Amino acid sequence: MDQRSAVRNRRRRRQYVPRRYSHHQGHEPLRRRQLHRKTRDSKQTPGPVTMQYSIADKIEMLAGADLLTERQAEAYVYREIEQLSRDDAAERMGISPSTLDDYRSDAAAKIQRAEGTLDVLETIQGQRETNS
């Protein structure tokens, strides 16, 4: 398998939302980044596509992406997405606030690195398309 195929295959694996999350909401599988972007089809309702996931679904989706551990995903969802206070989030997880901070900061660092990697891949892909 050459390098192009390997990159293409990795990109395909990450491109779509897992079936269990897409079909029960009644929409076609979409790229993860498109879930919160404005719709481009003029026949659809303008504005961002908002999905109503439970907290447990959000944690499972982040942990299921093989990027974060379940505890890191849980801490990230409670603090960054659900905007719970530090003490409330720590209490829900049954850990100390300082341990919660460790999990959240590790998760944020991993997410930032992953976003950087995706940006590099998109840049490489864009250069390859302009050279073709």
Residues 29-40: tens digit of each pLDDT: 444 444 444 444
Position 57 in a domain = no
pLDDT the model gives residue 21:
46
Q: Contacts from 119-123 at CB under 8 Å and sequence distance 24+?
A: 121/7, 121/11
Whole-angstrom Cα Rg for the chain: 17
Domain containing residue 24: 1-52
Whole-angstrom Cα distance, residue 45 to residue 129? 32
Position 58 in a domain = no
Q: Does residue 129 share a domain with residue 103?
A: yes
Position 62 in a domain = no
pLDDT the model gives residue 65:
80
CA end-to-end span of the chain, whole Å? 21
Q: Does residue 79 share a domain with residue 36?
A: no
Position 59 in a domain = no
Helices (H), ranges, 1-132 = 3-15, 19-22, 55-64, 70-76, 86-93, 97-131
Q: Does residue 80 share a domain with residue 119?
A: yes
- Average of per-residue pLDDT values in the chain: 73
Q: Does residue 82 share a domain with residue 43?
A: no
pLDDT the model gives residue 53:
81
Position 61 in a domain = no
Q: Does residue 121 share a domain with residue 83?
A: yes
Q: Does residue 93 share a domain with residue 39?
A: no
| Candidate from 1-5, 25-29, 96-100, 104-108 with smallest mean pLDDT | 25-29
Q: Does residue 73 share a domain with residue 131?
A: yes
Q: Does residue 121 share a domain with residue 77?
A: yes
Whole-angstrom Cα distance, residue 32 to residue 118? 12
List the beta bridge partners of residue 57: none
pLDDT, tens digit, 9 for 90 and up, residues 55-98: 888 888 888 788 899 999 999 999 998 999 999 999 999 999 99
**Count of domains in the chain?**
2
Is the distance from CB of 32 to CB of 50 less than 8 angstroms?
Answer: no
Is the distance from CB of 103 to CB of 92 less than 8 angstroms?
Answer: no
